[in-house]
A and B are shown apart, each in its own frame.
Chain A
Amino acid sequence: MSNKNTAQIAIRVENLGKSFKIGAAVSTQAASKYVSGYRTLRDDLADGLRRFRSGFSKDRQAEQAASTQFWALRGVSFDIQRGQVVGIVGRNGAGKSTLLKILSRVSDPTEGRAEIHGRVGALLEVGTGFHPELTGRENVFLNGAILGMRRTEIQRKFDEIVEFAEVAQFVDTPVKRYSSGMYLRLAFAVAAHLEPEILVVDEVLAVGDAEFQRKCIGKMSDVAQQGRTVLFVSHNMSAILRLTEETIVLERGKLAFRAPTNQAVDYYMSSGMAETADRKWLPEEIPASAAPFTPLALRVRDPHGLVVDSFRSLDPIQVEFEYRLDEPLTGLRTGIYLQTRMGEFVFTSFDTDSPEAFDKFSTRPAGIYRSHCTIPANLLNEGSFVLGVNASVYRIKRYFEDDKALSFNVDATGAPGKHWVEKRLGPLRPALDWQIERLD
């Protein structure tokens, strides 16, 4: 590689890998009230004893090590040129966050190497280090310092930050009195005024209302246009499409695909078609934070009750989501997202949307459940759709989310207007009850 090319590279990743001990991961996932994720001295003493009993046999140790290791990321290599805006997409557990954590120096790789040319600003969360008791002003300085800004730099940009966040009159109020919108705006504003050569952003846009998200995307595209390198992870395909030129798709810890964004998004949204129609989750796809919720299966059935992955537009689609609760949960709602293959959301619906269901299932005891519903006939246009699931307690906790759990095709044969062969725009093709009256 010539010197000239070296100078233009912003990030070079070579054969990067990160592994975790499964023992630790399993104990976090089983996390009952008493088994917490961290180790105690007792665990280590017990392990030591076990190792002692097994006679320190080298083979056995190596074997054990191999079987208890889980690679969250392995063999990933790529280069990112200076000024490129690159998206990273992947399912839960594909290694996106692990990759970002390594690139932002939060955690060390287990193998391989990465080279970062320039100052990195990492935004893995908005408002890191914000303290509820401190005022907006104090938090701006603290958060700025955490993000690596100099005090003089923060002072210089202070008015701009406050103006962007629209909190000018509350700047000396403790942030615990802020509305959640104000809090997020202020937190994002600090981060947005960071001026690193390389910006690494994770899912920050997943929070806040639509207005706030628009503002964030606007700011991000400003940053991108200033010629800085941006690495952007998101589940929001429309944001990825809008902001990035190129996208990397991660699958189970490996780089699966890298291409101009629209191709990559297409690949990502349609990948895994084979396992569609009846989706189950592998243990490593279920984050530890999901406990006590465990997703079991998501299925789509045709009117005959068969699990299929193609439907006719004029047939209803039965959706069923099965899951297990290891502990009773109050306020739980499970639901589905429907997206098009380009990542546009079609709708979101929860099993406790109706007031009756909301009251009846205010607390769900531990057990195995199936929430099911029907997507009405004559609603969807032809094309591929992606179904996601979500299990959460409103404003408290999101237990599990996979916004790309399965995909299915809709065939418009026999749908309204099918006597014209043209493709209809939009994800929906509802049968509306048109009336034609003659008025003269």
Chain B
Amino acid sequence: MNVSSPTSSQKPDSPEKTAAAASQANTITVLRPQHGLAALNLGDLWKYRELIYFMTLRDIQVRYKQTLLGAAWAVLQPVLQMVVFSMLFGGIAKISSDGLPYPLFNFAALLPWGLFSRAISDAGRSLVSNRNMITKIYFPRAVIPLASVLSGLVDFLIAFVVLACLLVYYHFMPGSNFKFVFSPALLALPLLLLLTLVTAMGVSLWFAAMNVIYRDVGYILPFITQLWFFITPVVYSSSEVTGNLRLLYMLNPMTGVVEGFRWALLGTAFSAGNWLIVSVVISVLVLASGWVYFRQMERRFADEI
């Protein structure tokens, strides 16, 4: 759709009419068949920023409704995961944790990973689960997956508080080999968080749009998330990956993010640091291509969902 505002084709012939015309028809929307590449139309998304806010708020408010434990799930989910991984990989498999307490090593990675995996699985299905809105009213469709991704931030922040408690605990625990240091690296956290969101949004745009046309995506998504989990150093250290594979491995933006979180919070070596620029480039490419694909498919959503 092309929206031109204010219109240039209107030349009211008297000043009185100018005011009248401006009040009733200051925008002309032209609806016509869309061929070729869709316009990127980011301005429309900005115009609907309040909707993004309310949709995010809705997703947050609804998330733990009708559950017995409510928002406690935001704490329990990552903590339980961390406990299981610590027993399996730290305790039984004795996987190297770069000399850190395994729970801490693992939890610092679970933060961004949890945000990411949750975002892509929620956002991937978001368009289909909001189909009644899509067939009934116009708004930029990207608002829906965007709100899904953003609503995960609340869980992230809650888990972050848990992590802070863990940091304090291991710092003061007698005999602990971990000492927390305030380093300037902490300032990189918001940027790493942004990188996580950008990657999650890019992947979500692809999956959400594809899911409208091919519901197969709903079935493939859990496998993809699982596979992605194992090619990201969440339960192990990326220093375990060596040789030619390593190059390929570093192409995964989440590797850089997870490594970066450990580096900033736990003071581990940031072997992926040199590669971070590659991570950034890749996630921006995923986001940009996701946006183009989404815009391209958007015109078919209402008819095919």
Indicate whether A and B interact. Answer: yes
Measured CB to CB, the residues of A under 8 A from B are 3-4, 6-7, 10, 20, 24, 36, 38-42, 44, 82, 101-120, 122, 124-125, 128-129, 131, 133-134, 138, 141-142, 145-148, 150-151, 197
In the complex, are the beta carbons of A125 and B132 less than 8 A apart? yes
Contact of B137 among A82, A138, A146 (CB under 8 A): A146
Contact of A108 among B33, B135, B213 (CB under 8 A): B33
In the complex, are the beta carbons of B133 and A38 less than 8 A apart? no
Q: Which 10 A-B pairs have the closest CB atoms?
A: A105-B138, A117-B25, A113-B32, A107-B302, A133-B65, A116-B29, A145-B54, A114-B31, A145-B51, A124-B136
Contact of A6 among B9, B53, B304 (CB under 8 A): B9
> Interface centre among A4, A117, A120, A147, by most B CB within 10 Å?
A117
In the complex, are the beta carbons of B30 and A3 less than 8 A apart? no
Please name all residues of chain B whose beta carbon is closer than 8 Å to the beta carbon of A110 when the two chains form the complex: 33
Please name all residues of chain B whose beta carbon is closer than 8 Å to the beta carbon of A147 when the two chains form the complex: 137
Using an 8 Å CB-CB cutoff, how does the interface string of B27-46 with A read, 1 for contact, 0 for none?
A: 11111111000000000000
Cα of A101 to Cα of B303 in the assembled complex, Å: 10
State which of B55-63, B74-82, B240-248 sits at the interface with chain A.
B55-63
Cα of A434 to Cα of B50 in the assembled complex, Å: 68
Cα of A20 to Cα of B303 in the assembled complex, Å: 8
Contact of A38 among B9, B17, B50, B213 (CB under 8 A): B213
> Interface centre among B9, B26, B33, B133, by most A CB within 10 Å?
B33
Please name all residues of chain B whose beta carbon is closer than 8 Å to the beta carbon of A3 when the two chains form the complex: 10-13
Say whether B94 faces chain A, with CB atoms less than 8 Å apart: no
Contact of B31 among A108, A124, A134 (CB under 8 A): A108
Cα of A426 to Cα of B21 in the assembled complex, Å: 47
Task: Identify the closest chain A residue to B301 (Cβ).
Answer: A107
Residues of B in contact (CB 8 Å), total: 49
- Closest chain B CB from A108 CB (angstroms): 5
Cα of A235 to Cα of B151 in the assembled complex, Å: 41
In the complex, are the beta carbons of B133 and A129 less than 8 A apart? yes
- Closest chain A CB from B7 CB (angstroms): 8
- Closest chain A CB from B10 CB (angstroms): 6
Q: Knowing A107-B303, A128-B132, A134-B61 touch, does A115 contact B29 (C-beta < 8 A)?
A: yes
Q: Knowing A3-B13, A118-B26, A120-B29 touch, does A134 contact B58 (C-beta < 8 A)?
A: yes
Task: Identify the closest chain B residue to A126 (Cβ).
Answer: B136
List 13 extra interface pairs beyond A82-B25, A111-B33, A134-B58, CB under 8 A. Answer: A7-B25, A38-B214, A38-B305, A40-B214, A40-B216, A101-B302, A103-B31, A105-B138, A108-B34, A108-B299, A124-B136, A131-B62, A138-B58
Please name all residues of chain B whose beta carbon is closer than 8 Å to the beta carbon of A197 when the two chains form the complex: 24-25
- Closest chain B CB from A154 CB (angstroms): 9
In the complex, are the beta carbons of B24 and A24 less than 8 A apart? no
Contact of A134 among B13, B21, B62, B139 (CB under 8 A): B62
Contact of A4 among B13, B214, B302 (CB under 8 A): B13
Q: Knowing A7-B17, A124-B136, A138-B58 touch, does A109 contact B24 (C-beta < 8 A)?
A: no
Say whether B274 faces chain A, with CB atoms less than 8 Å apart: no
Contact of A7 among B12, B66, B134 (CB under 8 A): B12
Cα of A111 to Cα of B9 in the assembled complex, Å: 23
- Closest chain A CB from B140 CB (angstroms): 11
Contact of B27 among A40, A112, A114, A118 (CB under 8 A): A118
- Closest chain A CB from B207 CB (angstroms): 13
In the complex, are the beta carbons of A39 and B213 less than 8 A apart? yes
Instruction: Return 19 A-B CB contacts under 8 Å, by A number.
Output: A3-B10, A6-B9, A7-B20, A7-B21, A38-B215, A40-B216, A82-B24, A82-B25, A105-B31, A106-B136, A108-B31, A115-B31, A117-B24, A124-B136, A124-B137, A128-B132, A128-B137, A142-B54, A146-B133
Q: Knowing A39-B213, A106-B135 touch, does A112 contact B304 (C-beta < 8 A)?
A: no
- Closest chain B CB from A287 CB (angstroms): 13
Say whether B1 faces chain A, with CB atoms less than 8 Å apart: yes
> Interface centre among B53, B54, B57, B65, by most A CB within 10 Å?
B54
Please name all residues of chain A whose beta carbon is closer than 8 Å to the beta carbon of B1 when the two chains form the complex: 105, 108
- Closest chain B CB from A179 CB (angstroms): 20
Interface positions, chain B 90-127, Cβ under 8 Å from A, are none
In the complex, are the beta carbons of B51 and A146 less than 8 A apart? yes
Cα of A39 to Cα of B304 in the assembled complex, Å: 9
In the complex, are the beta carbons of A40 and B30 less than 8 A apart? no
Please name all residues of chain A whose beta carbon is closer than 8 Å to the beta carbon of B304 when the two chains form the complex: 24, 38-39
Cα of A141 to Cα of B21 in the assembled complex, Å: 30
Cα of A230 to Cα of B27 in the assembled complex, Å: 17
Contact of B50 among A10, A120, A150 (CB under 8 A): A150
Please name all residues of chain B whose beta carbon is closer than 8 Å to the beta carbon of A120 when the two chains form the complex: 29
Please name all residues of chain B whose beta carbon is closer than 8 Å to the beta carbon of A122 when the two chains form the complex: 136-138
Q: Knowing A7-B10, A40-B214, A142-B54 touch, does A118 contact B25 (C-beta < 8 A)?
A: yes
- Closest chain A CB from B36 CB (angstroms): 13
> Interface centre among A115, A129, A131, A197, by most B CB within 10 Å?
A129
In the complex, are the beta carbons of A113 and B26 less than 8 A apart? no
Contact of A116 among B17, B26, B28, B54 (CB under 8 A): B28
Please name all residues of chain B whose beta carbon is closer than 8 Å to the beta carbon of A133 when the two chains form the complex: 61-62, 65-66
- Closest chain A CB from B199 CB (angstroms): 24
> Interface centre among B9, B28, B134, by most A CB within 10 Å?
B28
Please name all residues of chain B whose beta carbon is closer than 8 Å to the beta carbon of A151 when the two chains form the complex: 50
- Closest chain B CB from A25 CB (angstroms): 10
